[in-house]
A = this chain, B = another copy of it.
Amino acid sequence: MSDPKIKMNLSCPMPQLDFDVITLGHGSGGTLTQKLLDSGVFTVLSNPFLDQRHDGAMFTIPGRIAFSSDSYVISPIFFPGGNIGELAINGTVNDLAMCGAIPKYLSLSFIIEEGLTMVEFWEIINSIKSACDSAGVLVVTGDTKVVERGKGDKIFINTSGIGEVHSQANISTSRIIPGDRVIVSNQIATHGMSIMSVRKGLEFESTMKSDTRPLNHVVKKLIERFGEDVHFLRDPTRGGVASVLNEIATDSKLGIDIFQKDIPIDDAVAGACEMLGLDSLYVANEGVFIAIVDERVADEVVSLLREQDETTEAATIGNVTAAHARQVILTSSIGGRRVVNRLTGEQLPRIC
């Protein structure tokens, strides 16, 4: 055990096993792989699709399908507010939600470095289970590989997901028009700064926790109420709000104006950013999305979001403009204007 505290905080009691640590043999595809999967993945995540244990799962999706995939390499794998397991579920659930889809089925693939303890793996699997339950999705297929010590970093997880696109959704950069409002669903930079605080061993006045959470339920409400008036959705994870807005400006060939004073951020997070010399606009988020909506419904969208637990701090932070095409311009709290470029280097490696 690298961290004895994890054992104490196990969310579910672990069954008795005849091994404590995952070894190369657990990735062989033979008896040990079976044992590893039987002792965790298959029991905890059991459902009629996964129980088939075939190479692939089979089902039908009547409408349009959304398909997304992400690999998670976050370090450390346990962090304030979560671990790599729930992050991997929520991340892909949210990518599907950003397509206007109702997430349904996920694949789950592990690349484990030999030496990962079964206690750590068990805790991750159980977090995956609760994240799946919260989002209302099933893990239906997967894969487990093990690499030698020093050829990985504890555990990497890939999740791919399939969702059914909501019949009223029509999400595309091509639908963005001048006048649209830019809404951020909650306080920004929380995830990134919570990871940074652990990595740097910093202690702040209040403990910052990652905001990893599923956003599919709130997005569903948004689309059911506002339909095609929701023009575009994207979650600003790696690269933060600045990178996503730049992508939107590039792809839509329009400009974006945002206003510093309107951007919601927790005081402790803002303080930590300042202390470490980081611009919060570039810090990674997990449980936050950006919505580009028709100006007529912007206020109602914000009201609806503020009524939901996941998005209590939602705010309109700017608007789309035909001026300064492909550029994002920030008006600072004291009225100065500056171009917000994309992130050029690596601000916070392995944040997701």
Contacts and interface: CB of A to CB of B under 8 A. Distances in A.
A165 to B, nearest CB: 6
A133 to B, nearest CB: 20
Contact of A25 (B111, B237, B341, B345): B345
B69 A109 contact: yes
Nearest to A54: B99
B65 A147 contact: no
12 contacts: A27-B238, A28-B349, A29-B243, A32-B344, A61-B65, A67-B140, A69-B158, A71-B143, A72-B145, A73-B111, A75-B151, A152-B153
Contacts of A71: 109-111, 143, 145, 158
Contacts of A152: 151-153
A72 B75 CA distance: 21
B143 A96 contact: no
A196 to B, nearest CB: 14
A150 B150 CA distance: 6
Contact of A31 (B53, B59, B237, B343): B343
A141 interface: yes
Interface of A: 23-25, 27-34, 52-61, 63-73, 75, 95-96, 98-99, 101, 105, 107-111, 140-143, 145-148, 150-153, 156, 158, 160-163, 165, 172-173, 234-235, 237-239, 243, 247, 251, 282, 284, 341-347, 349-350
Given A70-B109, A243-B30, A60 B65 contact: yes
Given A239-B30, A344-B32, A345-B25, A67 B57 contact: yes
Contacts of A344: 25, 30-32
Contacts of A140: 67
A101 B346 CA distance: 41
A345 to B, nearest CB: 5
A29 B245 CA distance: 12
Given A60-B65, A153-B152, A158 B96 contact: no
Contacts of A173: 54
A12 B140 CA distance: 38
A249 B105 CA distance: 28
Contacts of A95: 55-56
B349 A109 contact: no
Given A53-B251, A110-B71, A153-B147, A58 B142 contact: no
